[in-house]
Amino acid sequence: MAASGFGGGEAFRLSAAAGAGALKLHKGDITLWSVDGATDAIVNAANERMLGGGGVDGAIHQAAGPQLVQACREVPEVKPGVRCPTGEARITPLVPSLIHFGTNRMLSS
């Protein structure tokens, strides 16, 4: 299912200039979305390692399969164990439409 097929999304103009793009937010199962021309990218709140984990990040990795983990491993580490520092973004060549955004979140055990 494509992100464009989800109803009730919110759109925010990026600029008042003519022809400016918009940021569109959709709510739904991100593992079922595809980039289909109406959607440019999917942003994933990833951990700094970019190797999956819990929550949405883990679900995306599980749905994508081992190829995504391999593509993430190919992203160079900026320091030991960190491929995408908090506040930065990375794009994997395998899935250029999936943007990994580094977050600093605490997970309860």
Residues forming the active site: 57
Taking alpha carbons only, the member of 85, 6, 4 closest to residue 38 is 4
The label of the residue with tokens 């999304």 reads: 9
Residue 52 near residue 100, CB atoms below 8 Å: no
**List of residues 6+ apart from 17 with CB closer than 8 A:** none
